[in-house]
Chain A
Amino acid sequence: MTAMQPVEQRDEVEMLSLMLLIRRFEERASQQYQAQKIGGFCHLYIGQEAVVAGAVAAVRDDDYIITAYRDHAHALARGTSANACMAELFGKETGCSRGLGGSMHFFDKQHHMYGGHAIVAAHVPLAVGLAFAIKYRGEDRVTLCFFGDGAINQGAFHEALNLAALYKLPVVFICENNLFAMGTSVKRSTSLKQIVDRAEGYDIPGEIVDGMNFREVRDKIAEVVDSIRKEPHPAFLEARTYRYRGHSMSDPASYRTKEELEKYRLDDPITRLRAQLTREGKLTNEQFDRLDKQAKETVMAAVKFAENSPEPPLDKLYDYTYADGAVEPGVPAAPERPEGGPRATPKQPADRAAATEDRR
């Protein structure tokens, strides 16, 4: 992928290899998590690859992308290296957020990846702010805002949609509907028959796409983005998808049946794009195997890179709190107690200055 490539020229084989990279990255992250190399929470994107791959295939590299906490794939899709992503999971200084963000807080300014946000729906107003800045500056960029089906019942989501519609801002709200907000199915969380109807409440055009179908996602987003570039406005897409793993690493996903999972696995987005390309004579089995091998090697190399990378240094602890350096670098270390304790300290005014100097 190179910058500013028009949509039709984004190579589908390359996008397939991106989807493979995401899948193999997440599988390896899962293994490293179990080996306790990765801490905290870790939410995997396996099964949903076609959504982010289709989305990035439809936009320019200088468009803005922002997402929730299931964010590894979005960084990889934007062009953040597997090394920087894995190192972030390992909490290393070479990570895409210097090891200070972790799994849920991937950022990459250079690639216009604006996070990585872990409070459900709290980033949707931020996406509207990114879109506001685009319009304020008269640019023709677009913001893609990803979130899960769990976000659509938060107040922040509703406020953000209203503002985007009111100010006619260039943002595509992409709901990655994987049917479950943690363990709560959409049926048990949402009063609507279909999520896309939320958009109608704000007079935002909305559509449903098959989130397991790379081409459908790409073509729909390309169409919407094309219209936004001509005349800024928000749009809403409900991408119906499925995550094969639990909500996070600690979730065995016992709230759904094996049969349901199997049904979606048969509809796997990678298998589907592979079959389409093979049928059209654009991909051989050997090529596919080579791409998959490459993806696995890239990820293995990333694990090695992460393992060998340094920890963030302790003496930089205060360097990333304020943009212009530490303002409140903690309370100063306890001054030494004078012999005999404070009560023995002379109270005469003349001696006070000296006593204070000792203590500072």
Chain B
Amino acid sequence: MREITYRQALNEALAEELERDPNVFLMGEEVAEYQGAYKVSHGLLERFGPRRIIDTPISENGFAGLGVGAAMVGLRPIIEFMTFSFSLVAFDQVVNNAPNMYTMSGGQFNIPIVFRGPNGPAHQLGATHSHATENFYASVPGLKVCAPATPRDAKGLLKTAVRDNNPVLVLEAELLYSSKGMVEPPDEELLIPLGKAEVKREGSDVSVICYSQTVPLALKVAAQLEDEDISAEVVDLRSIKPLDEKAIFDSVAKTHRVVVVEQDHPFCGVGAEVCYRIQKNIFDQLDAPIMRVSQEDVPMPYNERLEHAVLPNAEKLLTAVKQVCYA
């Protein structure tokens, strides 16, 4: 194991999959000559050439659709959105064409495509550039959605996504790109299955269910809670769809108290689905109503103080945990 950044981990995943399978190519805005808007594709043009690392015009609908078409005949495109906020311009391709094709064609055409890029609020980017799209996309049958929080998960999930025979969205996070973590050495194959959560910290009093940017937040709060004698278990979903019910239920059966901390909006958010499944399947395990911490239900304001107030943050999470623990 060695310590690398989330950005490097993604870069390694791309390089390894490009190396392994000649059908894999990377396409998107500024992925080649500019080396990636967030430098995730740094060095790939030089290594794999312009046939496989392809710059596009600002044309999300067009190049997302191009990827779906190429996938129909067996190529395995990796389509980078500079941010998933821009994937909304290609919504029709991501929602209508990629996941529907397998059904509509009676199973003749599966679409092995990866849509990837940063997702969720970053820092003071305002309403149009701060979308957390996981709950939109997870509600579409035929799509798989993952949202890694650590360099190791980012690498392992992206590599798995490239090998999946279905459309998979790999939702990265701008604020995590420079974060560091331990990852297996490059000569060791790292594949993390979709639909498998991971307990990032063991605990016994409360389960904090999180993913992507809310994982570091949950770990930070869990450390603070130690001072107050509350032992929080941090469950990182890693994949939104498929959702690892078992990991969630196992943790809840241990702690009996739950807070879901998500980076999307509250209405029909990921946490709503998690809560529904817990109460439906293991209602008797609960000692308190489940709390959710999410963004406030408003478009993202630019102002820094207001942005902080909109985002899930440590204060909100602490309050929610104490509430479910009646502490």
> Interface code B257-286, partner A: CB below 8 Å = 1, 0 otherwise?
000000000000000000011001111110
Binds B, one of A24-32, A124-132, A215-223: A124-132
Q: Among B4-12, B102-110, B121-129, which stretch is in contact with chain A?
A: B102-110
| Residues of chain A within 8 A of B68, CB atoms compared | 125-126, 129
- Report yes or no: B284 in contact with A125, Cβ–Cβ below 8 A: no
Interchain CA distance A119-B141 in the complex, whole Å: 18
Establish whether residues B284 and A163, one from each chain, have CB atoms under 8 Å apart when the complex forms.
no
Most buried by B among A95, A132, A356: A132
Judging by beta carbons under 8 Å apart, are B104 and A101 in contact?
yes
Nearest chain B CB to A320 CB, angstrom units = 5
Does A155 sit within 8 A of B, measured CB to CB? yes
Q: Which of B59, B77, B284 contacts A352 (CB 8 A)?
A: B284
Q: Look across to chain A and name the residue whose beta carbon is closest to the beta carbon of B51.
A: A136
Of B91-99, B175-183, B224-232, the one touching chain A: B91-99
- CB contacts (< 8 Å) of A117 on chain B: these are 97
**B211 part of interface (Cβ distance < 8 Å):** no
Closest residue on chain B to residue A169 by CB atoms: B66
B75 within 8 A of A: yes
Residues of A within 8 A of B283 (CB): 342, 359
Instruction: Tally chain B residues at the interface, Cβ within 8 Å.
Output: 59
Partner of A323 from the list B92, B96, B165 (CB cut-off 8 Å) is B165
Bitwise interface map of B from 191 to 209 toward A, beta carbon under 8 Å scored 1, else 0 = 0000100000000000000
Complex interface: chain B residues within 8 A of A167 (CB): 54
Q: Is the Cβ of B92 less than 8 Å from the Cβ of A328? A: no
| Listed stretches A41-49, A107-115, A184-192; interface member | A107-115
Whether A129 pairs with B284 at a CB distance below 8 angstroms is: no
A163 touches B241 (CB 8 A): no
- Among residues 66 to 121 in chain A, which have CB atoms less than 8 Å away from a CB atom of chain B? 66, 95-101, 105, 107-109, 114-117, 119
The reply to whether B280 and A127 form a contact with Cβ atoms under 8 Å apart is no
Q: Please give the distance in Å from B288's CB to the nearest CB on chain A.
A: 12
B67 to chain A, nearest CB (A): 6
Among B67, B69, B242, B243, the most chain A Cβ lie within 10 Å of the Cβ of B69
Q: Please classify how large the interface on chain A is, using the bins under 10, 10 to 19, 20 to 34, 35 or more.
A: 35 or more
- Compute how far the CA of A108 lies from the CA of B72 in the bound complex, rounded to whole angstroms: 12
Partner of A129, one of B69, B107, B141: B69
Distance from A344 Cβ to chain B, minimum over Cβ atoms (Å): 10
Query: Which one of A323, A331, A342, A347 has the greatest number of beta carbons of chain B within 10 Å?
Result: A323
Which of chain A's residues has its CB closest to B284's CB? A355
* 10 nearest A-B pairs in the assembled complex, by CB-CB distance: A129-B69, A125-B65, A159-B62, A98-B106, A126-B69, A323-B110, A107-B105, A323-B165, A129-B70, A129-B66
User: Can you list 25 A-B pairs, Cβ within 8 angstroms, ordered by A?
Assistant: A95-B106, A100-B105, A101-B106, A105-B105, A107-B105, A107-B109, A114-B72, A124-B65, A126-B69, A129-B70, A129-B72, A131-B69, A159-B62, A159-B63, A159-B65, A162-B62, A163-B66, A319-B107, A327-B195, A335-B280, A335-B281, A353-B253, A356-B285, A359-B281, A359-B282
A116-B105, A128-B66, A163-B62 given; 4 more Cβ-contact pairs under 8 Å = A107-B109, A114-B72, A115-B104, A125-B66
B interface residue numbers (CB < 8 A to A): 25, 51, 54, 56-57, 59, 61-75, 77, 92-93, 96-97, 101-110, 112, 141-142, 144, 164-166, 195, 241-243, 249, 253, 256, 276-277, 280-285, 287
